[in-house]
Amino acid sequence: MKIFKFGGASVKDAESVKNVASIIKNEGAKDTLVVISAMGKMTNAFEDVIDSYYNKKEDLPNKLNFIEEYHKNIMSSLFDKSDEVYKEIDVLFGELGWFLARNTSQRFNYVYDQIICFGELLSTRIVSAYLEKLGQENVWFDVRNYVKTDSNYRDAKVDWQLTEELITKKVDASKINITQGFIAANDTENTTTLGREGSDYTAGIFAYCLSAESVTIWKDVPGVLNADPRVFSDTTLLEQISYEEAIEMAFYGASVIHPKTLQPLERKEIPLLVRSFVNPKETGTKVSKGTRLVPYIPCFIVKKDQVLVSISALDFSFMVENNISFIFQKLHDYQLKVNLIQNSAISFSVCIDNKFNKFDAFYEELKNQFKIEVQKGVDLYTVRHFDDNAIELIESKGKSLLTQVNKETSQIVVNPN
């Protein structure tokens, strides 16, 4: 069985849905399980709904209307008004409205997961119904009945034993199956999510449990490139990557492959293909056991808008294990992801991602115990398999604030201003 995963950009409008249907017909007409994300930028739109629900309820009807009109505008180019899918979509919007009206929980992460899941439920219903309209029989199912997790909302951990039992028992591997990425459920049937960009991980979960032939992630790029084309004008397609190399790149922040996706695939040596839904005849990139990198060239990974923090003791004493352990605990408590560490005798520097906007609270707690220097809005460049030309290219991007080099990897923090 093959696993396909289509992200939001691949189903952003009616023509895109038609293209996905064409790819499924030509590439996976049977024995294929298709994982689909929310359409276009709908995850962001649902996050706006959540924000209005908490902070500006008078805007909530407009936010909901925008989402409903977006989906029904796509549907108007795919279906007749009398088609059953319109009733199915209305039921989903009714369920969303019921939750918004009846919810009494104040737990943000719980509420987030109960609302955000509708993006995936809507998109998969539409794609499944369109395939049926074309005569392509398929099985739509709710992934929450298959992938089970703990109750760590917004970043749930998979119960692998139960999930594998359910998937192997319930999935009909002879059919085309359509389901959702990113979402799951806990033991009380409440929706959980696997972390942002978790749809790739969903594909990996199904691949592992079904011992799939392969996983194909369909993107709007030719495959895995050696650099982000939005940042670098000259990029090269990587034809082959080993699991080890791909995990290294994902660890440093390469966005094409979700970090958690690779681990279950590696355990069963299931190849991962990254291909273009724009040019589906191209072979793209293959991630598998074996050759580390083809071609063997520098690979650039960029993390924008980072915070560089230098911490030292107020009495100029050494920054040793007890100080560093305390700081790391606080970084964990405030959900500040550390992307680079550098330690000297009297200072400890970290480049961190402030994606949950908790840095200021972290700073306030530590400022009376340590001397803290902060530079916000810096960029972190990681270069795998660097050479002199690669380093010169990064140094041309701005003022270098901190550099760390090992045998395979160079990391440079740059102030772009």
From the annotation, which residues make up the binding site for substrate? 43, 120
Is the N-terminal amide bond of 229 cis, ω within 30° of 0?
no
Closest among 323, 298, 300 to 228, alpha carbons compared = 300
Residue 215 and residue 272 in contact, taking contact as beta carbons nearer than 8 Å? yes
Q: How far is CA 357 from CA 255, 309, 334, 337, 360, in A?
A: 21, 15, 9, 11, 7
| Rounded distance between C-alpha atoms, residue 72 and residue 67, angstroms | 9
Residue 227 and residue 213 in contact, taking contact as beta carbons nearer than 8 Å? no
Q: Which residues are annotated as a binding site?
A: 5-8, 43, 120, 230
Residue 339 and residue 304 in contact, taking contact as beta carbons nearer than 8 Å? no
Report the 10 Å Cβ neighbour count for 109: 15
* Assigned token pair, 373: 């220097």
Give me the DSSP letters along 397-410. Answer: TSEEEEEEE-SSEE
| C-alpha 224: how far from chain center | 15
Q: Which residues are annotated as a binding site for ATP?
A: 5-8, 230
* Assigned token pair, 266: 């590696």
E strands, 189-284, are 191-193, 214-219, 240-242, 272-276
